[in-house]
Structure 1
Amino acid sequence: MELKLLLTVLLIQSATVPADYIRPPPRKAFHLPWHSKPSSYPQQVHISLAGDQHMRVTWITDDNSAPSIVEYGTSPGQYDSVAEGENTSYSYMFYNSGKIHHTVIGPLEHDSVYYYRCGQQGPEFQLRTPPAQLPITFAVAGDLGQTGWTKSTLDHIDQCKYNVHLLPGDLAYADYIQRHWDSFGRLVQPLASARPWMVTQGNHEVESIPLLKDGFVSYNSRWKMPFEESGSNSNLFYSFEVAGVHIIMLGSYADYDEYSEQYRWLKEDLSKVDRKRTPWLLVLFHVPWYNSNTAHQGEGADMMAAMEPLLNAASVDLVLAGHVHAYERSKRVYNGRVDSCGSVHITIGDGGNKEGLAHKYINPQPIWSEFREASFGHGELKIVNSTHAFWSWHRNDDDEPVKSDDIWITSLISSGCVDQKRNELRNKLMTP
């Protein structure tokens, strides 16, 4: 009887109707207190996945002679392993970055706590590696910025027992002011040094100056992702696998038409996905394809026209985007219509940015749109097993992470859609 009840609960898909409440006003930029530290002291520490059982540790020092060394082990203060990595730096107009270190450590045991130190000095940090198998929990928040609402969102995420943070673009909102990249790194360090942060670029990462500076120099220098490990030639698009999930991070601001390198790479990456090993397939990018908010309406149309057929043929379970400063969840949809073998699209660009919320929606609400609300918040995705995942969105209401929307999602592989589309995918991948 208990098993039947559990299965019944798992199969129910529920959407909570938002309660009426008075939204709090916008908040000003958040400033951390400044503390003077030695020039070789590691700062802005964050970690990211870097291939099977490996983690990339990134930090910055003001001392250009500081070594790119990470000491690590499974006991506090006892480092039985050491790794040396690479470093870079960049100049941007009158700004010169510190020395940016990227060091890959591993192999690491799954679901284990490691203690590590950067550059042979400074404080000891602690990280937990993701599990080898399901279940796994992802925290999701895009368009973070550095406001009081950002701090509230980060505090709420810190209460979540998550394994990996997914961020679909717009990190620091530096907008050409390079010291804002530094303040963002300090702001997120407590969380980003303890769990891997996997990010992709948004429009606020572009920072190009015609004839003087190419875009993304700051983003690419500071937030190196495992693009080389996934066969990509650009930090703007890559993929990784973790605990039975294949995740593709695409670039809304990299070329994406059928003649582009990103399109070619995407076809090749999809051809390698093994749904027996990774039954769940997720995709993230910045500009949403399904958006019923008046903000940024239609901006993702060209990318959608080029790439949605590929994602649909590959039976992508869930697509996560940002850009619109509000929350919206779709039904399973493809080519603008509700489709039981389509993807669930979620817009979650409501992390706490300085520009405020996008309050205006198109009415009547499109048939494919299931839930929408203009509030700051974050999402949590717990993939329970190969067939079921639980998604919840938590509104920042008076500094309490109020769960305002939740739904059980059934994987497409368990519904027969993957087998149904296998020939379609094969044909698309073989097309030159």
Structure 2
Amino acid sequence: MKDDGYVRMDVEGSALRPRRRRGPGRRSLALLAAALVLFTIGFVVVSPSLEQAPAEDGIHLTTWPKVIEDGGDLVVFWPETARVNKNDYLTLSCGPQQGTDDYLARKNVTEFDATLNSVRFSELFMMRCDYSVEYFRYHKGKKSYESLTKIQVGMRESFNTPKHGHLALTTQENAMAVMYNSASSRTPEARYGTDPTNLDHHATGTSTTYKASDMCQAPATTVAQRLFRDPGFMHTAIMTDLTPETTYFYQYGNDVDGWSKVAQFRSRPKKDTKTTKFIAYADMGVDTAPAAQSNAVRVYSDVVGDGFDSFLLHFGDISYARGEGSVWDKFFHIIEPYATRVPYMVSVGNHEHDYTAGGEHDPSGEAGSAGNGFHPHWGNYGEDSLGECSVPMYHRWHVPATGNSLFWYSFDYGGIHVVQMSSEHNFTRGSNQYEWLERDLASVNRIESPWIVLTAHRMMYSTQKDIDVDIHLGERFRAEVEPLLMKYRVNLVLVGHQHSYERSCPVYQGECVRDGKSAPVHFVVGSAGFGLSDNGFTSKYGNWSLVHADEYGHLRVATTATQMHIEFISNRNGIVYDEVTLEPY
């Protein structure tokens, strides 16, 4: 949602952006960290750290480690005997800068690490560039800063190393897409098979990228350390001719740039299969425990340890990059351990899509007559993507070609028909999306698919306090779309936007249905990691809300032909916070 604790940045001055304070809890990430090690590949060092960078006043810099692991920390030292002013500071950058005020992070010398002559920069990710640390001396008389010295530190792996692997379902039911990122434009490849020591199938693919000028508006169109940066190339290869319900092992890359670690996935089931185990959530981001990174730990455990590996639904507010390109690199680093194991199926939210100018760049082709996207007078649609207008999303993810790219589409899996629609585009009667949605729902064979699951980013139902504009928008959303849900017997509606958890009764037009089952159940699961809502809940919007909590977590869902069991898993301790079993109607 738009009111999320961030302020707009001044793109005319420093490229710094105020950040929400992130919580403690790095120990709880041990499981995910162990998984990330599996994706470390032994490539040559690009640019090793200098042993020392001499400068004035006895200031020179050394680092530990000498080269940076993807996701690792960097400790920077200066001599214990050096003359240091308490106002001196160090900056961290990666790649081209637009001036000395353009950097990723800044540390004052008083923010020391283990020793008084060191500072630590944490969580440095592969961004296909060498990192640099620059030392600035404060001159009291001049009341100004001067750069004294600079040191460059390379990544342990080549910039061409295959990174950010993630799977996706395709239009073909006997295929699986793998996407990855690198600095290389060489033809992407995948090799795969049922024996991890004999990957005897091969696929080649395609690559894409985007520029700052491809975005809709500032600040996303601004090149800076903490705004647009070269994203490298996004590669896609389709693994075809898969046998149903079979474990496949695979690698992605090529012989020149290198190959990823061997990963695995399970192919789609046969058409008559009526069982699934999947994960669902929205509003994740990249914050530390107990937020997004804890969510990644819990989901990894559910996918790899408990077999919830049919697919994963992430319905909007994905990384919260909002024009800050480095956040996309961090997000994919966090999800890679399980996104290479389970098809990661996404749709857009307000922080990926909403904009107010530059609609000719909107990849959905739905800019509207004013060229600024969907802005009905009764909504609170703004410029929440800060200019991205879904351009990074469009290039970074793959979905089945059954609708309008990742903006609205559907797929079938194990007795479930899944519809991912967009609340950020026109959903009113007569719109392109509405017409597609009705055709799609009308085409579902309920013998083959006894369950229909629909996702969107914004909610139709919520009892969160102090969000009257969102509530009003939700009522309009219901008025337009809810009759279709009843007509075609949609079972489950999954949404986010509110950063909390909430479950309804089977509800229609604001009332629980009398028989307790013949209407959709609505879940708000905007709880995957971005800052929690803290304004509580109220009954003034209706009595249909059965469970609600300001709690981080995600859904895991297990289905058969006759039952759908849904659990909300808390990030705090991994316990089942809430659960319910649904029956078809």
Q: TM tier, shorter chain?
A: 0.7 to 0.9
Q: 2:472 is paired with a residue of what secondary structure?
A: coil
1:136 maps to amino acid: T
Is residue 217 of structure 1 aligned with residue 354 of structure 2? no
For 1:269, the equivalent position in structure 2 comes to 440
For 2:318, the equivalent position in structure 1 comes to 171
For 1:17, the equivalent position in structure 2 comes to none
> Does structure 2 conserve the Cα–Cα contact (< 8 Å) formed by 1:176 and 1:207?
no
Is residue 60 of structure 1 aligned with residue 181 of structure 2? yes
Is residue 369 of structure 1 aligned with residue 545 of structure 2? yes
Is residue 162 of structure 1 aligned with residue 308 of structure 2? yes
For 2:527, the equivalent position in structure 1 comes to 350
Shift of 1:207: 6.2
For 1:113, the equivalent position in structure 2 comes to 247
Superposed CA RMSD? 2.0
For 1:317, the equivalent position in structure 2 comes to 491
Structure with the greater alpha carbon radius of gyration: 2
Is residue 360 of structure 1 aligned with residue 536 of structure 2? yes
- Segment drifting more, 92-101 vs 177-186: 92-101
> Does structure 2 conserve the Cα–Cα contact (< 8 Å) formed by 1:29 and 1:147?
no
- Unmatched runs of 5 consecutive residues or more in structure 1: 1-24, 413-432
- Segment drifting more, 209-218 vs 269-278: 209-218
Q: 2:441 is paired with a residue of what secondary structure?
A: helix
For 1:27, the equivalent position in structure 2 comes to 23
For 1:202, the equivalent position in structure 2 comes to 349
Q: Deviations over 1:167-206 (max 9, x none)?
A: 1111101011112112111111111011111111111112
Q: Which has the higher contact order (CA 8 A, sep 6+)?
A: 1
1:141 to 1:70, Cα distance in 2 relative to 1, 3 A:
same
1:159 maps to amino acid: S
Q: Tell me the distance in 1 between the aligned counterparts of 2:548 and 2:355.
A: 33
For 2:17, the equivalent position in structure 1 comes to none
2:308 maps to amino acid: Y
Q: Deviations over 1:16-68 (max 9, x none)?
A: xxxxxxxxx9627989324532232111110011131211111111012x212
For 1:153, the equivalent position in structure 2 comes to 295
Shift of 1:357: 2.9
For 2:265, the equivalent position in structure 1 comes to 127
Q: Tell me the distance in 2 between the aligned counterparts of 1:270 and 1:358.
A: 36
> Does structure 1 conserve the Cα–Cα contact (< 8 Å) formed by 2:489 and 2:520?
yes
Which of 68, 80, 93 aligns to 2:200? It is 80
Which of 422, 426, 429 aligns to 1:251? It is 422
> Does structure 1 conserve the Cα–Cα contact (< 8 Å) formed by 2:348 and 2:406?
no
The within-5 A match list for 1:229-240 is: 230=402, 232-240=403-411
Q: Tell me the distance in 2 between the aligned counterparts of 1:234 and 1:382.
A: 27
1:366 maps to amino acid: G
Shift of 1:303: 2.4
Q: Tell me the distance in 1 between the aligned counterparts of 2:308 and 2:421.
A: 23
For 2:282, the equivalent position in structure 1 comes to 142
Q: Tell me the distance in 2 between the aligned counterparts of 1:328 and 1:298.
A: 18
For 2:557, the equivalent position in structure 1 comes to 381
For 1:391, the equivalent position in structure 2 comes to 566
Higher relative helix content: 1
Q: Deviations over 1:347-394 (max 9, x none)?
A: 0000011x33344211357321111111101111110x2111111111
1:54 maps to amino acid: A
For 2:475, the equivalent position in structure 1 comes to 301
1:210 maps to amino acid: A
- Segment drifting more, 355-364 vs 181-190: 355-364
For 2:133, the equivalent position in structure 1 comes to none
For 1:335, the equivalent position in structure 2 comes to 509
Q: Tell me the distance in 1 between the aligned counterparts of 2:478 and 2:156.
A: 48
> Does structure 2 conserve the Cα–Cα contact (< 8 Å) formed by 1:291 and 1:297?
yes
Q: 1:156 is paired with a residue of what secondary structure?
A: helix
Q: Tell me the distance in 1 between the aligned counterparts of 2:479 and 2:300.
A: 37
For 1:408, the equivalent position in structure 2 comes to 581
Percent of aligned positions that are identical: 27
Q: Tell me the distance in 1 between the aligned counterparts of 2:25 and 2:394.
A: 24
For 1:188, the equivalent position in structure 2 comes to 335
> Does structure 1 conserve the Cα–Cα contact (< 8 Å) formed by 2:187 and 2:206?
no
Q: 2:507 is paired with a residue of what secondary structure?
A: strand
For 2:105, the equivalent position in structure 1 comes to none
Q: 1:247 is paired with a residue of what secondary structure?
A: strand
For 2:216, the equivalent position in structure 1 comes to none
- Unmatched runs of 5 consecutive residues or more in structure 2: 1-20, 27-69, 73-124, 126-154, 213-220, 224-228, 363-388
2:512 maps to amino acid: V
1:374 maps to amino acid: D
Q: Tell me the distance in 2 between the aligned counterparts of 1:293 and 1:178.
A: 32
1:321 to 1:358, Cα distance in 2 relative to 1, 3 A:
farther
Q: Deviations over 1:188-236 (max 9, x none)?
A: 111101111111111111264623853110111101211x2x2x13320
1:318 to 1:103, Cα distance in 2 relative to 1, 3 A:
same
Q: Tell me the distance in 1 between the aligned counterparts of 2:243 and 2:357.
A: 46
- TM-score relative to the length of structure 2: 0.62
> Does structure 2 conserve the Cα–Cα contact (< 8 Å) formed by 1:60 and 1:100?
yes
For 2:170, the equivalent position in structure 1 comes to 50
Q: Tell me the distance in 2 between the aligned counterparts of 1:139 and 1:378.
A: 7
> Does structure 1 conserve the Cα–Cα contact (< 8 Å) formed by 2:354 and 2:424?
no
